[in-house]
Structure 1
Amino acid sequence: MILRYLAIPCGLGLTFLILWLMWPSPIDPIRWDEPAAPALSGPTAPDDDLAAATLYPVGDPGTARSVAVSTDGMVYFGSVDGDIMRLRAGIAENGIQPEHLAHITDEPIYGLAWIDESTLAIAAASSLHSLNLTTLEVRTLSSGSTSQSFGHLTNLAVAEDGTIYFTDSSTRWDHASRRPGYYYDMLENRPNGLVYAWDPQSREAIQIRDRLYYPNGIAIASDGQSLFVSESFRYMIQRIWIAGPRRGEIEVFAKNLPGMPTGLSVDGKGNVIVAMATRRSRLLATAHRNPGLTQVLIKLPQWLRPTDSRPRGFVLRINESDGQIRDAFHDPDSALNYLSSVTVGPGGVLWLGSAFGGIIGRFDPAELDDEPAQP
């Protein structure tokens, strides 16, 4: 009798299991034998440096993924609703709210950079814009190249001649939808990303590199000869030559980093500053090495999927000439997790954006050595 009562639920459970295993997976991952993560020791040893950062709450998660700072101390950032906001650092603690400047688009804002002292270049999810801060005139510069539309723009950098270099992290998914495209890209681990250059003369976006693994941060080298581009889910930074005798070449600048590199900046002192979203994950390494298992687990409800420890963001300072890590700044409290950008502001102060924190971080490395910041 007991077996009869158990037969029905067991049969239903077995049927559900078979259907679940047969149900198509939404992703098609490839195997990558991810190298073992380097130990956090020596120049990357954990510390509490970022505990000294000043945090400015500025909005909902997704606000201030990228930050631009003017010479007069104004801090500009984007919102998930496609707006550009302005904040004067140092007064947020007194309850003064960010000022709304302009509505750019109905998509989230991901990247900001200066074209000149009064004009911002803006990367929205699938379009490139500019904003004149004097007239508040908004211009749409591009929504794609002559061959295809943009997929998921993230960060940008502007050269002295006005050329805007920017990353299209992935053309694989509709990143404007509620589907977690970045998460699928992280698990699939396929080269769906590109780097573009927007030419101010022709006013066209030109593809300069494809088949990159989620290119994210981008910065122009101090000599203007090359670009640094982070590939977040491969834990590396590429160097793409854009001028000189090596123009068109690409080489690995830094590889097997101890976390996920996102935003990049150069500090004018021979360093590339790297925002690291979080440390390396053993679960993600297992997923990369076992695509079949990944296809099965992605079909589970989110609350049933295995999760890793809480994210721990940090910042690396890498020698621009040889790609060697000089030092690292860690956040012991995970207040600055999922870092998405880093901007070197006046006086060498680092301004940090977060993908999901809704905060801006201000951190002055000079204060660690009791050295006064430059004016």
Structure 2
Amino acid sequence: MPPVPSEEGAACRDAMFPAWGFPAAVLVTFASIYFLPSPIDPEPFTFEKPPPALVGSLQVNKKLQSGQRIFTGQLKGPESFTVDDKGNIYTGTVDGKLWMISGDQLHFITRMGQDMPECGTPDYEPVCGRPHGVRMDQDGVDGLPFKFLNGLEISKKTLIYFTDSSSKWERRHHKYEVIETNHLGRLLAYDPVTRTGRTVLSGLYMANGIALSPFEDYILIAETSICRIIRYWVSGANAGKKEVFVDNLPGYPDNIRLSSTGLYRVGISTTRFPSFFSPFLDALGPYPFLKRFIAKVTPLSFYSIFLQKHGLFLEINNKGDIVASFHDPDGSVTWAVSDVFEHNGKVYLGNTELPFLVVLQ
């Protein structure tokens, strides 16, 4: 026989839940949050296909687990690389520093901004700096003040190509850029002879890593927030034409590198494999009002909790076919691969936040 509520219990219940009821209280709370201003202004975007099946060239493997972590605790987020004529490798880290790797030795070169204990945290990036694309050039050139400078490529035709991922968000707010899915990115070119810069292509979705073809007749551009790579023809019969090179990638592409075998290697910063966050982003695409609501109530640091720790980079041929993939399915060695740099028989895997560098033989 169920217990009979006492008069005292009923009075306590009525005090906690007045006549208008608990559902109404929830509705009022939701409405008050809904009308708060949101930090983002997203546009609707719908992926035409679900993430590709992990079969064939995308079959999950453990190739990346043969890698070795080096300079643990010394390099945090070594995102991109270049090499000089003596074989020294250069990289920049999240705390605004530029480093040189000579053999098995690490040397500090310089820093991009102020020297503060808080350097390496998102709020201090504007004063500490955060080097992204790194390449070696014969002559120094003045930079241009953009919002989110990212990928970099130097042409043999005395042009420097680079991307401005967003004209709205800085690097420290890149998660807002991905969620918002706007098209405020640009591909730009700088002529060090005339010291003039120009916009080559605008309206890009988080323009990120870039790579010139061997003949420099086209350039590949990663559009990170919509998981695709486009090709823009800079010379020849197709000059000025933009086309999709590879679409519906299994994750969010970062830097693109041309390997010694003629394949393009693409680092995947976050996979779209089944997890809470990745399919969730796909599903949110067509609903800007939901994105606004989530951005209001969720701090930026919270999103990283749901990211799957699955290391991945792809090899893509000049037709846009994925011909090989390299995985670390449980992130035991690395995850969030930003760059795949080949030098002297080794492959260096960059990242944006992790406190180590991974090397593959």
The question of a shared fold, defined as TM-score above 0.5 by the shorter chain, is answered with yes
Q: TM-score range by the shorter chain?
A: 0.7 to 0.9
Whether the aligned pair in 2 keeps the contact of 1:83 and 1:100 (CA below 8 Å) is: yes
Residue 309 (structure 1) shift: 5.1
Decide which of 61, 81, 85 is 1:47's aligned counterpart: 61
| Matches of 1:103 and 1:306, distance apart in 2 | 27
Q: CA deviation at 1:343?
A: 1.9
Residue 292 of structure 1 pairs with residue 308 of structure 2:
no
Secondary structure at 2:133's aligned position in 1? strand
Tell me the residue number matched to 2:37.
Answer: 24
Whether 1:104 aligns to 2:118 is no
* Per-residue deviation, 1:182: 0.8
Greater mean alpha carbon deviation, residues 354-363 or residues 250-259: 354-363
The answer to whether 1:267 aligns with 2:259 is yes
* Higher share of residues assigned strand: 1
Helix, strand or coil: the match of 1:183?
Answer: helix
Q: CA separation in 1, counterparts of 2:94 and 2:13?
A: 55
Query: Partner amino acid for 1:243?
Result: S
- Amino acid paired to 2:353: F
**TM-score scaled by length of structure 2:** 0.83
* Separation (CA, whole Å) in 1 of partners of 2:304 and 2:69: 30
1:14 Cα deviation after fit: 5.5
**1:213 maps to 2:208:** no
Partner residue in 2 for 1:68 = 82
Letter in 1 for 2:16: L
1:237 matched to 2:250: no
Query: Residues 304 and 257 of structure 1: is their aligned pair in 2 closer, same or farther, counting only changes over 3 Å?
Result: closer
Is residue 2:185 matched to residue 1:193?
A: yes
Question: Does the 8 Å contact 1:115/1:162 carry over to 2?
Answer: no
Deviation at 1:245, TM superposition (A): 2.6
Partner of 1:257: 249
**What code does the residue aligned with 1:216 have?**
N
Listed as ranges, the matches of 1:90-239 within 5 Å are 91=104, 98-105=106-113, 106-116=128-138, 130=140, 141-144=142-145, 150-175=146-171, 180-239=172-231
SS in structure 1 of the partner of residue 137 of structure 2: strand
Output the amino acid matched with 1:69: V
Relative to structure 2, which stretch is displaced further, 235-244 or 208-217? 235-244
Q: How many pairs align? A: 326
Letter of the structure 2 residue corresponding to residue 27 of structure 1: I
Question: What residue ranges of structure 2 are gaps of 5+ in the alignment?
Answer: 1-10, 114-127, 273-277
Instruction: Pick the aligned partner of 2:323 from 326, 329, 334.
Output: 326
Partner of 1:367: none
CA contact (8 A) 2:69 2:357 kept: yes
What percent of counterpart residues are identical? 26
Q: RMSD across aligned C-alpha pairs, in angstroms?
A: 2.4
Match of 1:342 in 2: 340
Task: Give 1:340's aligned amino acid.
Answer: S
Q: Supply the distance in 1 between the matched residues of 2:129 and 2:329 (Cα, whole angstroms).
A: 33
Query: How far did residue 173 of structure 1 move?
Result: 1.9
Distance 1:77 1:53, change over 3 A: same
Give the TM-score, by structure 1 length: 0.80
